[in-house]
Amino acid sequence: MSYSDSSFMTITRQLSRTIQAPRFFTVLAVALIAMTGCGYDSKMKSTMMEFDQGKFSAAATQIAPLLAEYSLQDANKDGKSDSPINGVVFYLDGGTIQQAAAQYPASLATYESVWNEISPYLVEKAETKVTEELAAAMTNQTIRTYRGTGVDRIMLNTYQSLNYFALGQPEKAAVELRRAQNWQADLVKKNQARIDADTKAFEESGKKNGYDANKSLDDPGFQASLNANYGTIREMRGYSNYEIPYATYLRAVNRFATGQFEQARTTFKRVAEMLPAPANADVLKDVEMAGNAANGQTPSQCVYVFVEAGRAPSLKELRLDIPLFIAGVPYVGAAFPLLEIHNEPSVTGFTVTAADAVANAALLTDMDAVVAQDFNQRLPGIIMATLVSSASKAAATYGLQQGMGNWGSIIGAVYQVGANSADLRCWLTLPKRVLWCRVNRPESGTISITMSDGKTIGPVQIPAATVTVIRVRTVNAGTDPAVMSFAIASPG
């Protein structure tokens, strides 16, 4: 059923009786507009300008005041039950930027604060709160506490492992990689059920007030608008079982470096199953190498090079008219988040020169696809929440108009503008893609990396270790990359 005349008018009469203070509602509406103008993307603008130019230290300086403003450490220290609403998303980007600036202890502490906030969701803590959902329905989704997407959670611990590797603590890095695997298993076990439950809760919330969101969803015009804007994104596919090859591959490399050869062989094999040809052929060589080592053959000293290029998708706002099938309020404008794919980065490949050998990079992880897959799964719930929220605000606005006349019309219009904004919070500094290759350490102990944009890294000194990892972060053309290099274990 849609809003019936009786149920809808009941809402408006209730609002009319309670609305007695125009000044109060004017202040509320103006406050909502102010809140909308200070969104995450807006606050991160100057930081991201530095990051996109490869000025990672400057970006770290820019984001420092935001980390202080949305401090997760203060929330924990004060014994609060919840972190600041936006703390997690600021800290995800903050930790990444600090890591790119080689501020590894700072990045480690920043990521650890995120882990402290979201780790309870891995075992027992509820993902949503009824009071938060009710408030979001009358304002917008940005007031919900950001708890991290599935991709956020896996990549948090993956990146934290890199901090520990850089600081010479491979045992702690291994713990982080296991945590990343646990998040992935948690998503397989519970994610769809959580999303379905949230979607159902919003649907039932709408029905309690006489609004059937499914009627809006079934409208041919609205469906056409959704397909026109989300069709390409909906066709993007990630990897099975929520896996991120980069995270799994790092786990395999760590196992190989620390002498867990059979476990490494199994994990390398899993990565090979995720990748298409010809990239999987390179991983199958790792499977063979680990198998030989498990059978007693002394492995060659290896160098793994990972290049993280570009930026993963971010979110922008999409405005659509929603048919509400309400007498007097047939349509309402609503704001939806739309995934925005960024342009190709300057680096689309690289080569590694080790003595007389030259190795070409292959694609290890398409992060565009990973993020899109996660977004697509959450999209039905996002649409349902937006529909119910928009219907609730339409009813409130109508009530203002009915109860306060011209005052209500003015305040209602301001309220709609202020409350009608999409939740655009997301981890902005993840890469668009991860490329990689492996070479044997040459006797000279040096290698060089030539990027497809012409930049050269090296010669890089490679220690006499079982495994050396070089991780490069590059964003756009003409920018200097960040380079992280570490040995995981020494021979013997």
Question: Binning pLDDT at 50, 70 and 90, where does residue 329 land?
Answer: low
State what percent of residues in the chain have pLDDT above 90. Answer: 62
Selected residue with higher pLDDT from 189 and 175 = 175
Say what the pLDDT of residue 261 is.
96
Q: Percentage of the chain surpassing pLDDT 70?
A: 79
In this structure, the strands spanning 467-474 and 302-309 are parallel
pLDDT at 95 over 70: yes
Q: Is the pLDDT of residue 14 over 60?
A: no
- Residue 446 φ/ψ, nearest 5 degrees: -135, 150
**pLDDT band at residue 200 using 50, 70 and 90 as cut-offs:** confident
| Nearest residue to 321 (alpha-carbon basis) of 412, 200, 466, 219 | 219
Question: Confidence class of residue 397 from pLDDT cuts 50, 70 and 90?
Answer: low
Task: Give me the pLDDT at residue 192, please.
Answer: 84
| pLDDT confidence bin for 8, thresholds 50/70/90 | very low
pLDDT of residue 75 exceeding 70, the answer is: no
Tell me what pLDDT residue 390 has.
80
Question: What is the rounded distance in angstroms from the CA atom of residue 283 to the CA atom of residue 265?
Answer: 10
pLDDT band at 419 (very low <50, low <70, confident <90, very high): low
Flag the least confident range among 6-15, 160-169, 249-258, 344-353.
Answer: 6-15
Which pair of structure tokens corresponds to residue 248? 């799994």
Q: What is the pLDDT of residue 237?
A: 92
Q: pTM above 0.85?
A: yes
The number of C-alpha atoms within 13 Å of 2 and in the hemisphere containing its C-beta is: 17
Instruction: Please give the pLDDT value at position 298.
Output: 93
Which of the residue ranges 85-94, 273-282, 317-326 would you say has the lowest mean pLDDT?
317-326
pLDDT at residue 140, rounded to an integer: 61
Residue 430 and residue 342 in contact, taking contact as beta carbons nearer than 8 Å: no
* pLDDT per residue as tens digits for the range 338-376: 999 998 877 899 999 998 889 999 999 999 999 999 999
Structural domain boundaries in the chain: 5-489
pLDDT of the residue at 35: 47
Give me the mean pLDDT over the 250-279 stretch. 96
pLDDT score of 4 more than 80: no
pLDDT band at 334 (very low <50, low <70, confident <90, very high): confident
Rounded mean pLDDT, 297-302: 93
